[in-house]
Amino acid sequence: MHAAAQPRNGFGTTGFVLGLVGLIFSFIPIIGVIAWPLVILGLIFGILGFNRARKGVATNSGLAITGIVLSAIGLVVCIIWAAAFGKAADDINRNMQQLEQGQPAAPPIGEAPADNSSAQPRTVVYEVTGSGKALNITYTTDGMTSVEQQQDAALPFTKEISLPPEAFQMFSVSAQNAGNGTISCKITVDGKALKEASSNGQYSVVMCNGDVKNW
């Protein structure tokens, strides 16, 4: 008799561990830079682990899927931080140039100009479309790093949030397809499309993100 082949669960487990650690580090300013390689590798290993499970050579498909989700969320947070730091660096450079030219400096990041106090709130609409359901949908809620997630969400999905007209805001939405076919996301800010993207296949992940620094 031949001994039963041992399940090859290494990729799925590795993807979960990397995704979890990367997600934790992604929320920490400065230190979170090490989350970039962790979440990217977590996404890769999670997908490889899930593919092994689909072929029947691994038994931890659930853990692999969780690793994919954690890595995707961590990657979104990393992108948001990178955009925020890039904006801050641009503001500092611009303010220094303005001071050298004898002009008043621009307001700090996240602070609206003084004459903008009566401006209308910014309306942000997240949309996820496709057939059936999404395993999860994750989106930012404050224009920076706070996120919410809905599990097993019916499609089409729409979420509208209202935010003050800050000088800089970053928006992001990601979703994982529960079935076959195409899953798409879209971000609309004050009636103007900011970002659209699509992904195909079962358990595929689609992400939309962008900022309004040039709005």
Task: Show me where the domains of the chain are located.
Answer: 1-106, 115-211
- Does a cis peptide bond (omega within 30 degrees of 0) precede residue 156? yes
Q: CA dist 84 to 2, 71, 80, 162, 186, Å?
A: 57, 20, 6, 20, 21
Residues 6+ apart with CB under 8 A from 44: 15
- Architecture of the domain spanning 115-211: Sandwich (2.60)
- The Cα–Cα gap between 160 and 11 comes to 37
Helices 61-100 and 10-26: crossing angle in degrees, nearest 10, is 30
- Residue 187, SS3 per DSSP: strand
pLDDT tens digits, the chain, 215 residues: what are they? 455 678 899 999 999 999 889 888 887 767 677 888 999 999 899 999 999 998 999 999 889 988 888 888 888 888 777 777 776 666 677 777 767 776 555 555 444 444 544 568 889 999 999 988 998 898 888 877 677 888 889 999 999 999 888 767 888 888 888 888 899 999 999 999 999 999 898 888 888 888 776 55
Residues 176/134, Cβ–Cβ less than 8 Å: yes
This prediction has a pTM of 0.59
